[in-house]
Chain A
Amino acid sequence: MKFSEFILYLFVMAGVTYLVRMLPLVLVKHKIENRFIRSFLYYVPYAVLAVMTVPGIFYSSSYLISAIIGFCVAMILAYFEKGLLPVALCACAAVLITELLIPLLT
């Protein structure tokens, strides 16, 4: 990709992201009362992150099996509310250990 093409993408991406944040902060002076909109905006972040995580996580490492193990470790630790960084690092460690073991076992 040429850098000029990248800059065009960057401009659009940053522009939209900024406008979404800026316009309400400058224009809206009262709270959104509509219950449907409030509810919709409550669910959106969870739905977005869920869509991006599954099945993407299963293709995030060199082997499917190591990614599945990393996913399981993350789910278990997240269930026990261990925090962002511990969950992420333990998932990475699980993937690393699995991938170091794979050549020994096959």
Chain B
Amino acid sequence: MENIAEEVLKGNRFALSKAITAIENEYDNATEIMQKLYPHTGHAYVLGVTGPPGAGKSTLTDKLAKEYRKRGKTVGIIAIDPTSPFSGGAILGDRIRMNELTLDPGVFIRSMGTRGSLGGLSHKTADAVKAMDAFGVDVIFVETVGVGQSEVDIVKAADTTMVVLIPGMGDDIQAIKAGILEIGDIFTINKADHDGADKLATELNMMLDLDGETKDWRPPILKAIANQNIGIKEVVDTFHKHHDHIEGNGQLTVRRTERAKNEMLDLLDARIGAYVRHNIVDNGKLDEYVQDIKARKTDPYTVVNSVLQDMLK
């Protein structure tokens, strides 16, 4: 397809799909596409959805998207699943819970694999979000498994982040609380009809209270039963409330500024990483350096200095 960016801006869905592919696969035209799309971004509201596997994030996202549609908003969804470290393949299984949205022209769903750590997933996700934003959707969900730092980072790119938990996770909550407590603007206990929902709410409340700092936004703890469509409106209302809150106190601007900064740094990191892979790793130079280092003919510090000098030429 020629002129992918122009087609995206015209509302061509397949062009949006192609743009995300270019970003994801690091095609040569990705940068050019993003350069053209960037001026048209900044309108969509970005919602992060994270939580442990099995919490029902996809089902919840499906229902929330439907609620937004009822309220006249268009929706983009980026659903991220882990890539197998053994094969490099992935089962992208979130879409299956969103089949009813497939034929809604006001919804666009894209699944992505984490593809290991080298690829710079967080900046790819950020760019996919921007492509959807430029395409013109009102609300973008980024859904990811909340384990592992890189995936937590992805969610940090959101304006509002919801952590989804379910009762009966036992000690898991202890294990993940450190990571999730700080990123959650909203906590939703899904499958709230199951035993232990109240206990989980109490535990969460205690942890949030212990968190110490006096914040002007105390993350609310909501209850939902996504597969019965219970508690969905309340979650969307709370998204709105949080949005109004951070818009009112200037936090939204602060967050987005912070995000722009982080994204630029990420992009720079990714580019440097890519440079290093192209010019050092893939062509076998790395092995030569390592041989020399091992033989004490040189040292890693000197090599790095020389690589950096080459790069900056």
Partners in one complex: no
B contact residues vs A (CB 8 Å cutoff): none
